[in-house]
Amino acid sequence: MKSNLTPLEPKADKATVRRHNLSLVLRAVHDAGEATRAGIATHVGLTRAAVSSLVEQLLEYGFVSEWGKTSSGQAGRPGTVLKVSRSGPAGLGVEINIDYVTVCVVDLAGTDRVRLVEHFDNRGVQPSEVLARAARLTARAIGSAAEQDLVPAGVHVALPGLVTGGTVRQAPNLGWQRVAVEGLFAQALLALRPAHRPLPVSSDNEANAAALAELWFGAGTEGVRSFLYLTGEIGIGGALVLGGELLRGAHGFAGEIGHMVVDPEGPLCRCGARGCLEQYAGQAALLGAAGIDPDAGVQGVAELERRARRGDPAALSAVERAGRQLGVVVSGAVNLFDPDAVMLGGVYRELMDWLAPAVDRELSLRVVSGLWSEGGKRLRASSSLGDAARGAAGVIVREVLADPAACAERDARSSGT
């Protein structure tokens, strides 16, 4: 027999129900920004008494705090305003990319509270060394967070490659194969903080993390729930969000739009195949086509933007050509996946003014539904709030919101109470 057969009203035990409802109340406060006990009761469909007891627990944990009374202008008796705490549990995200590492601490309300960035070229460096560097930056970020009374509940590491089960299966642009990234990172962080409780470490692809940031902090907050996300870096990352959920595929490897094909006989890609989109619209290809050193990194992109802005023909034609090739491939992805929008992040954000017309032209011509020739700004620059480190930190925040009791219990155990 198949297994998706469950009768209505399963008899969950009391502790499980309370745990679930604790999360329900915390998420209600989180999503509303501020709420009263009475408002929460109405919204989540629990009794006022049940909500009050759950709120007491959340206050005790330090996950919500009270902010005075509602004004008398509102209906009913004035209630105490509740908000999620600006101190206490937080999310910590790490983005390890080809030529930089970013660490970001986000509080329960979703605000960036610490952000540290270091630029160095990670190519050709041993994975353990790269992870040790990232751990050092992380330890500094934990220190800065502590000064603001924030305690990361876990670390989520985002990397440019195929990540599954705590392991980078393949990261062609870093040159990594089968690296147990969670274990190595946890070990490196533990070595730096031997007296502290080990933080749980999780990991994912960087474009997935950036797309989640876009969903939680960027376009998602304006109601865009299904989109294709592309980030132009040294490689091209991609991710798919459908109905507010990240689409991971059967093995967690979905979204590799950078290896869709422009020309099967084209230049050799680091993945071993020929003519992948990365070889036409990746950062190095863009810079090279404009006559800039392909390895010039951030400075090179800034230079390309300057040249495009002053109308340099080589720069404009390089960006236009990349836009056309990007547009052809993205049109195919849109025909396949039918999203509401396409978000361009990374270096594409800076080059949007010159890139977008060419991409738009292909979308308008090639998407069979015709929806993309009707205007309506379906092609967008990714929000400045949509970066991978922030999304990674958001993953931890979501975990706390989904099970505040587990987070509190972990803290209690580690402080010996």
| Shortest Cβ 140–a second copy spacing (Å) | 34
Residue reference for tokens 């969000």: 241
Q: How far is the CB of 258 from a second copy (least distance, A)?
A: 8
Cβ–Cβ under 8 Å, residues 385 and 67:
no
DSSP class of 345? E
Tell me whether residue 153 or residue 363 sits nearer to a second copy (CB atom): 363
Q: Which is nearer to a second copy, 85 or 173 (CB)?
A: 173
- Which 3 state secondary structure label does DSSP give 293? coil
First to last CA, the chain: 46
Nearer CB in complex with a second copy: 208/382: 208
CB of 5 to a second copy, least distance (A): 5
**Cβ-based nearer residue to a second copy, 27 or 193:** 27
Show the tokens assigned to 330.
Answer: 């993205």
Q: What is the secondary structure of 236-282 as a DSSP string?
A: EEEEEEETTEE---SSS-TT-GGGSBS-TTSPBPTTS-BSBTHHHHS
Q: Kindly state the smallest distance separating residue 34's Cβ from a second copy, in Å.
A: 11
- Report the nearest approach of a second copy to the CB of residue 251 (Å): 6
The nearer residue to a second copy, 257 or 308, going by C-beta atoms, is 257
> For residues 77 and 251, which CB has a smaller minimum distance to a second copy in the complex?
251
Q: How many separate helices (H) and strands (E) can be counted in the chain?
A: 14, 15
CA distance 161 to 173: 8
> What b/e sequence results for 275-292 when a residue is b if at least 16 CB atoms lie within 10 Å of its CB, and e otherwise?
bbbbbbbbbbbbbbbbeb
Tell me the closest approach of the beta carbon of residue 49 to a second copy, in angstroms.
14
